[in-house]
Structure 1
Amino acid sequence: ISDPFVDQEFGTGALKITPGHDFNDFEIGEKYGLEKISIFDAEARVDPSAFVGEKGEIPPWLKRYQLKDRLEARRLVVEELKERGFLEKIEPYRHALGRCYRCQTVIEPYLTPQWFVKIKPLAQPAMQAVREGRIRIVPEGWANSYFAWMENIKDWCISRQIWWGHQIPAWYCRECDAGSILKTGHDDFMLAREARPIVQREAPSRCPKCGGKAFLQDPDVLDTWFSSALWPFSTLGWPERTEDLKTFYPTSVLVTGFDILFFWVARMIMMGLKFMGDVPFRDVYIHALVRDQEGQKMSKSKGNVIDPLEVIERYGTDAFRFTLTSLAAMGRDIKLSEERISGYQNFVNKLWNATRFVLMNLGEEVRSHRPSFESLRAQKLNLADQWILSRLVSTMNEARKAVDAYRFNEFAHHLYQFTWHEFCDWYIEMSKLSLNGTLGDDPQKTQRVLAAVLERILLLLHPLMPFVTEEIWQVLMEGEGSIMVRPYPRPDADWIQPEIEEKMGFLTEVTRAIRNLRSEMNCPPSKEVRVILFGPEARLSFLRSQEAYLRALARVSSVEYSTKGERPKGAATAVVGETEVYLPLDEKTNLQEEKARLMKEVSKVEGELARVRKKLGNNDFLSKAKEEVVQREREKAEQFGEKIRTLHRSLQRIAEVQQSEGKS
């Protein structure tokens, strides 16, 4: 036969065809109606019955091969070709072999009678359900893969010859079909091709042909994925119309991996539409695959598997869960490393420390009469209290949007940023001024806000960190029951105050500017500094009203405000919007020594950057190193470059100060 399947560029262009022992040859055999001959038995030995002639005789040449293992038989074929002078040459040829995933034995394609489901009539409605939007696949790109598979789907082989599973609902009469039931061992049978099955839901009581009452059930079991395809409704009492079935079918969302989109998801859709007349779920979210830190798929043979039990023992369940969620960007696989998990363990510790601070600072009145979140509306709160409540609700809003869009990494990011950087880094530090009386307001108000915000943080984090949040909840909300049965917080836009958030953003930016100037000028953390601010009256008036925060958070001894006039000489400078921040230097600051130190550091970092750039400029390195290794070197180069830029900014500050001193 002539067929375009043959690669004319390889070898002679002529191939033998064995439809019974090769998947590609089987397809060609189907196309041209070729006979499918199986020459192996179930033990992968040469089966003489496949070569029996019309009179039942076995050809003489077969005696050399009969009942030989397929590997031995192949060796004998080469040997006989040599003996007969038919062999021109022997050369190695590399090709793919199917192997058993457990013992690595080479797998031989082998024709056997099997049960099939005619699948195309089921596939069409399943494709239509996705096209019409009754089912949404997220990320959307996987819908294309779904359609590609469904449009080229073939009849589904649903029978398996294994020990466990749902047995095929087919029976054979031991009386009129006795000749087709071949006993091969104790309680072991093989069915001939001529066997006539009785297919029905329950075991038959009588043979419809002869009236016999003795039956043998087909020994095959259903494909695991066939049983799993029934899961959305079979687990809820189907075929009975139970209350559970009415309540939970269809469900809202299925979360699964891309590797079983076709094996399981597509088949659940087909079965649901066939037997229930409706889709089994509305959304299908395809989650990422967890790989090692180099981006390789984890496998025992590679030795790169990260054992979850070992990770949990070392870092805790909640840190591990939060890590996976924070890395689960839509459409991207997760590159997991223990360093990342360790980083989120620090986040768990941060939450514990924040809780300890809140509990230590709650007065007896607040402990015994815990106010509701809503009751805070009636309180006249200071700037920091108003700001953290506004930011809390803004975060709740962003977090809910992220979850609704299945952007779980963004969900984790919003909660992380708010908890660590806004609540812990800023608000807790600001709350100390109210708690210790520096602000002169009612500390109980801040205590109530601390407790209320921590309560909401626990509720928000609970789906990601169930254990630590439950533990803290039982201490913070003693007698209030389990956190897991509390409703998830819903954002109320009335709490959001953009003006307050803008003002606090300005205050924190000025605070950061002062801190950065201190750092760049190598000012000791314990030393208080004098600050001079130039800017619009409205901005300065606001900063004047919040000066206590500047003094505490930036270690400032005094602040001078000016809307006009000559700028100070001999001062480091930063600009925040229209506001200029000046940090005067005292006589003890040796600018020359500081300049020499910074230049030495620049020289050191430039050397490190040069080494990395040399490596990145090496084509041999770029072609042989893994992409992840190359990427890490690029990140190093960027980090060194940023450090050099920061050092140069510090040197520029010194130059500006020296220049202003020279002019004065």
Structure 2
Amino acid sequence: MPMDKTFDAARAEPEIYAAWEAAGAFRAGANARPGAESFCIMIPPPNVTGSLHMGHAFNNTLQDILIRWHRMRGFDTLWQPGTDHAGIATQMVVERQLAAEGNLTRREMGREAFVRKVWEWKEHYGDRIVTQLKRLGASCDWDRTAFTMAGAPGDTRKGHENSPNFHDAVLKVFVDLYNAGLIYRGKRLVNWDPHFETAISDLEVENVEVDGFMWHFKYPLQGGQTYEYVERDENGNVTLRETRDYISIATTRPETMLGDGAVAVHPSDKRYAPIVGKLCEIPVGPREHRRLIPIITDPYPDPDFGSGAVKITGAHDFNDYAVARRNNIPMYRLMDMRGHMRDDGAPYAECAARAQEIAEGAEFTEAEVDTLNLVPDDLRGLDRFEARRRVVEQITAEGLAVTTRADDPRLGRAARKPGAEGAEAEVPLVEAKRIMAPFGDRSKVIIEPMLTDQWFVDAGKLARAAIAAVEDGRTAILPEQHRKVYFNWMRDIEPWCISRQLWWGHQIPVWYDEDGNQYSATSEAEAVAMAGGRPLTRDPDVLDTWFSSALWPFGTLGWPEETPELKRYYPTNVLVTGFDIIFFWVARMMMMGLHFMREVPFHTVYVHALVRDEKGKKMSKSLGNVMDPLDLIDKYGADAVRFTLASMAAMGRDLKLSEARVAGYGKFVTKLWNAARLAEMNRAKPVPGFDPAGAAEPLNRWIAGETARAGAAVDGALKSFRFNDAANGLYAFVWGRVCDWYLELAKPLLADGHPAQAETRATLAWVIDRCLILLHPFMPFVTEALWGQIASREKMLIHADWPEGGAEDPEADREIGWVIGLIEEIRSVRAEMNVAPGAKVPLVIVEAGAAEAARLEAHAALIARLARVPQMIRADAPPRGAVTLSAPGATLCLPLGDVVDIAAEKARLEKASQKLEKEIGGLSAKLSNEKFLARAPEEVVEEQRERLEAAQSEAGRLKAALGRLAEMA
């Protein structure tokens, strides 16, 4: 049956994928040679709530390229798939679904019933991302699909042979770390989401620039004390000297002033030296119960920012928390779990009195401080933002706001115009400014730093081995700059908060008796036995999602059981991941793998860059520049999308993706298809055992050598994770060497009656086969389709043998390379000189060596057809108006004097050159401007660099063309 005229990706892709699955082509060990070395990649598990986005498409394309390449090379491969239970995201989705359906709320339903609902949702929707990955062509061993909650209570697939009981692994890890003293419960500052009422990780916090305010307030000194406040310029000259009875601070969160434990200044700040150690008054709350707090020194305050004095509220700010810990400052929690001001505990007067004793030196405990509610009675229970409004109102009414002129530009829109009525009046200094505010990425509410009791891993101890493993090379991190990021994080690591106040997740395996004693066990029965039969209550919290996913490299292989897969595939070979989770996931897998397996979880971490839009901007729904990979697959096919991403995967450089580029590689798919059709039309069929290295025709030996070089280049590039070099090299080989040159040069040899017809048919079929094999990891669908259509095969292409080595023929390379070079040179000169396409220009042979003369004679017809040379003329010297060609071993030229208006062409080129030089000057000046480089967005700077590079390249081309014109004059 003849081939279809075009490749119908929409029809063919699902059929091909189904055939792969039916043949078990993706299974662990498929196509492995006897005694083969293993090659394993663990997929970064997408959230079970997720759908395929461009980041997934990029990440999984790179993994699939590596897996298919190794599978064809006979390695014992495993690409381990699976999904993450995504605690907060999944709980949110199910709660919204319940609300939309008018069902009971989570709390009305109860924990057990709600968790059952989540499992039902997971069974119904949880495989969506897997289905979408299959559309991309991902060749994972789907029979082994893992889930980070597999085996947990409610799992209907519990004990499924191909889904390891991940829950048991998680519980064992927790208990073992707890017993080793590496997990403990304590009170620390965490990111608190008031909407979900849970702690969240830094990765789940989005820092967004918003319009905000900075209020400036006075903290009066105790008892009306005064001091001389002096400001100086950088030369030491006094610019301000006045007597003050206060110290001023600036804050964007006035409601937190109620919990201040101190005011800090820098030790070198001489302005405040006279009052360090004294007490100042928090300017809010009932007058008779105003608290006094100490003025201390600490390296944290910046003397050049604001007033140089910083209020320290350790329970509600991460920087303040560090200062408070260094200086033993009490940390007073002001808010409840909903983000409302506390409404519990003793009356304010009683709490404030005890806090005053502490400020004056009384001993205190962390537990006692947590009971003290320092929110005044009239503010208790208020939403934090309403409390902010009232605090500002009260301080301003009392005259304790720092003031400024009404025309101060810092007031923003509230500022009066200079010279306007009332412009000189004094008003409270409330700076209008852009501030960074932390939002929950799911809840979209402002996150509150909160001092709460949580479970923590002593990450500092676990990090030591993980640092050493990268230092000594057991695990390589690529590109190099991410190695430095890894070390920076790991060497300054904080305790890892692993508890979450959710219901969906691995419930923490700790039980408490009535006295508060803790019992950590893998089951309640075991805990009860440890407690001597006393009644126990289980900790209601669940584990951070990152805790369970940190076990991914060995938990998916059956650990803690000593399974054959664990022995065969751990440590894994490479992890392909994004830069944003180096710390949250990569570092934690390193820590857990080394602690429990005594080996690194992977030998290489390849950190890929970000997929941006064509202008270099990050894709986001708000910008409307999100490109959906599924839409692109629908339009252009998975192969075009995959090849586009691979071709742009330069190590350490973000991708600038455009639909036009995907469309361009869609044409490459068509080009490959047409090349195979040309082979079919010429009755070129694979000949078993045929090797073109021994062909009689130099052209066939040449393409054999080109193919060998292309294969070696792909191998070298993929071994060093240069995906773009591999893809672009293949593109240049297939489109350039094979389609543009070999197919054109071979046409005469394929003609009926030519003595080299059979050999050339066999060579053409061999070359097409090699193209399909080399392209398969990048473009699996079209290559598999062609493989099956060209001939009847013993194996599918996915299991075809990857070529190793290959003969090169220097003599054939020289001959064919010389001919191609001459044709390209003639074409280039005609284009540079603006010669009309239909103009007939002969080739003048002034001088030629024996070998070159033989080549000209042997390939005269080809040169005439492909270079549009109607005839070859011999001459003793170049004729007037001729352009000399670059042809080693020969003096050849094109007489263009009669077809080119030299004066007009020179004027055109000079005008274009002058315009380019002006553009180059402007771009160079801009890129030499330090202010531009510092202030302009990264994508804008990169765009300017690319424009400069393109302009310089074009200027070089114009210069060469002007040089040729000068030669003709």
Q: Does TM, scored on the shorter chain, surpass 0.5?
A: yes
Structure 1 residues 292 and 538: CA distance shift in structure 2, 3 A: same
Contact 1:533 1:540 in 2 (8 A): no
Match of 2:690? 375
Q: Deviations over 1:241-265 (max 9, x none)?
A: 0111111111111111111111111
Structure 1 residues 643 and 431: CA distance shift in structure 2, 3 A: same
Match of 2:825? 513
**Are residue 580 (structure 1) and residue 580 (structure 2) matched?**
no
Decide which of 302, 319, 340 is 1:24's aligned counterpart.
319
Structure 1 residues 25 and 524: CA distance shift in structure 2, 3 A: closer
Contact 2:500 2:542 in 1 (8 A): yes
Contact 2:880 2:968 in 1 (8 A): no
Match of 1:359? 680
Aligned AA (2:383): D
Query: Helix, strand or coil for the counterpart of 1:109?
Result: strand
Contact 1:612 1:633 in 2 (8 A): no
Q: Separation in 1 of the partners of 2:946 and 2:457?
A: 50
Match of 2:189? none
**Are residue 169 (structure 1) and residue 509 (structure 2) matched?**
yes
Q: Separation in 1 of the partners of 2:609 and 2:632?
A: 19
Structure 1 residues 249 and 481: CA distance shift in structure 2, 3 A: same
Structure 1 residues 242 and 386: CA distance shift in structure 2, 3 A: same
Q: TM-score, normalization: structure 2?
A: 0.60
**Are residue 503 (structure 1) and residue 815 (structure 2) matched?**
yes
Report deviation, 1:2: 1.6
Report deviation, 1:528: 7.3
Structure 1 residues 502 and 614: CA distance shift in structure 2, 3 A: closer
Aligned 1:71-110 pairs, distance under 5 A: 71-89=385-403, 90-93=428-431, 94=433, 95-110=435-450
| Number of residues of Structure 1 aligned to a counterpart in Structure 2 | 621
**Are residue 638 (structure 1) and residue 952 (structure 2) matched?**
yes
Report deviation, 1:457: 0.7
Q: Deviations over 1:620-663 (max 9, x none)?
A: 998497324534543563365346335535634642xxxxxxxx
Query: Helix, strand or coil for the counterpart of 2:823?
Result: helix
Aligned AA (1:85): G
Match of 1:47? 342
Moved more, 376-385 or 161-170: 376-385
Aligned 1:15-414 pairs, distance under 5 A: 15-50=310-345, 52=347, 62-89=376-403, 90-93=428-431, 94=433, 95-173=435-513, 176-177=514-515, 195-205=516-526, 207=528, 211-212=532-533, 214-362=535-683, 367=685, 370-372=686-688, 374-376=689-691, 379-414=694-729
Match of 1:184? none
Report deviation, 1:424: 0.7
Decide which of 752, 770, 773 is 1:459's aligned counterpart.
773
Aligned AA (1:341): V
Contact 2:509 2:523 in 1 (8 A): yes
**Are residue 416 (structure 1) and residue 416 (structure 2) matched?**
no
Q: Separation in 2 of the partners of 1:375 and 1:80?
A: 92
Q: Separation in 1 of the partners of 2:374 and 2:668?
A: 78
Query: Helix, strand or coil for the counterpart of 1:634?
Result: helix
Query: Helix, strand or coil for the counterpart of 2:430?
Result: coil
Contact 1:513 1:581 in 2 (8 A): no
Contact 2:846 2:877 in 1 (8 A): no
Contact 2:499 2:544 in 1 (8 A): yes
Aligned 1:552-563 pairs, distance under 5 A: 552-560=865-873
Q: Separation in 2 of the partners of 1:200 and 1:331?
A: 44
Query: Helix, strand or coil for the counterpart of 1:110?
Result: strand
Match of 1:661? none
Contact 2:693 2:704 in 1 (8 A): no
Structure 1 residues 580 and 80: CA distance shift in structure 2, 3 A: same
Moved more, 396-405 or 160-169: 160-169
Aligned AA (1:484): I
Q: Separation in 1 of the partners of 2:470 and 2:531?
A: 48
Q: Give unmatched runs, 5+ long, in structure 2.
A: 1-295, 353-371, 404-427
Structure 1 residues 296 and 314: CA distance shift in structure 2, 3 A: same
Contact 1:513 1:574 in 2 (8 A): yes
Query: Helix, strand or coil for the counterpart of 2:804?
Result: coil
Report deviation, 1:614: 7.9
Aligned AA (1:644): L
Query: Helix, strand or coil for the counterpart of 1:282?
Result: strand
Contact 2:459 2:496 in 1 (8 A): yes
Query: Structure 1 vs Structure 2: percent identity of aligned residues?
Result: 40
Determine which structure has the larger strand proportion and give its number.
Answer: 2
Match of 1:183? none
Query: Helix, strand or coil for the counterpart of 1:40?
Result: coil
Moved more, 273-282 or 575-584: 575-584
Q: Separation in 2 of the partners of 1:575 and 1:518?
A: 13
**Are residue 598 (structure 1) and residue 905 (structure 2) matched?**
yes
Q: Separation in 2 of the partners of 1:288 and 1:518?
A: 41
Q: Deviations over 1:148-180 (max 9, x none)?
A: 21111121111112232222111234xx35xxx
Contact 2:578 2:608 in 1 (8 A): yes
Structure 1 residues 545 and 621: CA distance shift in structure 2, 3 A: closer
Which structure exhibits the higher relative contact order, with contacts defined as CA atoms closer than 8 Å and separated by 6 or more residues?
A: 2
Q: Separation in 2 of the partners of 1:69 and 1:75?
A: 10
Query: Helix, strand or coil for the counterpart of 2:438?
Result: coil
Q: Separation in 2 of the partners of 1:633 and 1:407?
A: 25
Contact 2:459 2:493 in 1 (8 A): yes
Structure 1 residues 554 and 257: CA distance shift in structure 2, 3 A: same
Moved more, 333-342 or 269-278: 333-342
Report deviation, 1:24: 1.1
Match of 1:436? 751
Give RMSD over aligned pairs: 3.1
Moved more, 216-225 or 394-403: 216-225
Contact 1:605 1:640 in 2 (8 A): no
Query: Helix, strand or coil for the counterpart of 2:734?
Result: helix
Structure 1 residues 51 and 72: CA distance shift in structure 2, 3 A: farther
Structure 1 residues 203 and 54: CA distance shift in structure 2, 3 A: farther
Q: Separation in 2 of the partners of 1:650 and 1:569?
A: 13
Match of 1:448? 762
Q: Deviations over 1:69-108 (max 9, x none)?
A: 1111111112222333333333334442212234542221
Q: Separation in 2 of the partners of 1:230 and 1:575?
A: 62
Q: Separation in 1 of the partners of 2:310 and 2:344?
A: 25
Aligned AA (1:507): V
Structure 1 residues 211 and 584: CA distance shift in structure 2, 3 A: closer
Q: Give unmatched runs, 5+ long, in structure 1.
A: 178-194, 656-664
Query: Helix, strand or coil for the counterpart of 2:712?
Result: helix
Q: Separation in 2 of the partners of 1:325 and 1:403?
A: 11
Query: Helix, strand or coil for the counterpart of 1:388?
Result: helix
Report deviation, 1:208: 5.1
Match of 1:187? none
Aligned AA (1:289): L
Q: Separation in 1 of the partners of 2:928 and 2:488?
A: 39
Q: TM-score, normalization: structure 1?
A: 0.86
Query: Helix, strand or coil for the counterpart of 1:505?
Result: helix
Contact 1:521 1:650 in 2 (8 A): no
Structure 1 residues 412 and 533: CA distance shift in structure 2, 3 A: farther
Query: Helix, strand or coil for the counterpart of 1:99?
Result: strand
Aligned AA (2:389): R
Aligned AA (1:409): N
